[in-house]
Amino acid sequence: MSVPPVYRRWVTCPEPRPQASLRLFCFHFAGGDASIFRLWTTQLPPSIEVCPIELPGRATRRAEPALTHFPTLIDTLARRILPFLGQLPFAFFGHSFGGNLAFELTRWLRRQGAPLPVRLFLSATPAIQSRAQPYARVSHLADAAFLEQISTRFGIPLDVISREEVRDMVLPAMRADVLVAESYHYTPEPPLDVPLSSFGATQDPEVGPREVEVWRHQTTADFRSRFFPGDHFFLTPQRPRLQQAVLEDLASTQFP
């Protein structure tokens, strides 16, 4: 598919598969980048073309200014992804705050009468609609205190993210994404007519079992939930089992 280069900065495709019957768009967690899904592009069957989203301000787009306002990010992302949605059935997979992006992007598409995903996969995604206080505000904190709060909330060892080489690489993107999260205000809308799978971890300090299950109220279609061993970042250690769950749920989903 021919689209201007600006669109492909947002929608990457490390392993093009012209014969694929479905595109899987993947949304990374706060502070992450598209490389998190690099192995997905080769490990899923040839019938699936994996397209990780790369937000500005990180990795290959490090020199670009990051977007820090949720409505602006959703609107910009939606317009960048639209040219990729017309030819093949597609699904969205988002981990942590990437799941919130995938969910709100799906609602944006519905409001515009645009094509919708055949299935929505939300992994370790906080159900903001069920929280009295969506996100504790930490973006104003100095670096040391900010990283300490991130460590506590998500179970990341503080000595790991405080290392100079790690801190310098992830801190700017993490701060930008936290600002995005803090500017996210959930607005009630009717449930989606899109099948939804919600994945959680047994030892996640940020997203508990109730928040995994409460996503069933956001769809009138098929809902499935699963729990995997591990903490908030089970995405990597549980990748084979997670991919198998995605394949099973896609197999149960009716699409052209």
Is the pLDDT confidence value at 169 over 90? no
CATH number for the domain harbouring residue 145: 3.40.50.1820
Judged by average pLDDT, the poorest of 42-51, 166-175, 190-199 is: 166-175
> According to DSSP H, which parts of the chain are helical?
5-10, 40-43, 70-81, 97-112, 143-154, 158-161, 164-182, 209-213, 239-251
Classify residue 256: in a domain, yes or no. no
Residue 117 binned pLDDT confidence (cut-offs 50, 70, 90): very high
Is the pLDDT confidence value at 108 over 90? yes
Classify residue 160: in a domain, yes or no. yes
- The H or E element spanning position 69 is none
pLDDT tens profile 61-76: 999 999 999 999 999 9
pLDDT at 172: 86
Classify residue 60: in a domain, yes or no. yes
Name 224's bridge partners: 197
Contact 56, 66 (CB under 8 A): yes
Stretch 163-174: mean pLDDT: 80
Name 222's bridge partners: none
Classify residue 63: in a domain, yes or no. yes
Q: Which of 135, 118, 99, 134 is nearest to 212 (CA)?
A: 99
To the nearest 10 degrees (0 to 180), the angle between helices 164-182 and 143-154 is 80
Catalytic residues: 96
Domain count, the chain: 1
pLDDT tens profile 21-53: 999 999 999 888 999 999 999 999 999 999 999
Classify residue 96: in a domain, yes or no. yes
Specify the amino acid at residue 102: A
pLDDT at 234: 95
Is the pLDDT confidence value at 226 over 90? yes
SS3 (DSSP) at 196: strand
Classify residue 33: in a domain, yes or no. yes
Stretch 187-208: mean pLDDT: 95
Is the pLDDT confidence value at 106 over 70? yes
Contact 198, 172 (CB under 8 A): no
Contact 173, 31 (CB under 8 A): yes
Q: What is the pTM of this model?
A: 0.92
Residue 154 binned pLDDT confidence (cut-offs 50, 70, 90): confident
Contact 173, 96 (CB under 8 A): no
Q: Domain containing 92: what range?
A: 5-251
More confident residue, 127 or 229: 229
Classify residue 242: in a domain, yes or no. yes
Is the pLDDT confidence value at 131 over 90? no
Q: What is the mean pLDDT of the chain?
A: 90
Query: What is the DSSP code (8-state) at residue 219?
Result: B
More confident residue, 124 or 171: 124
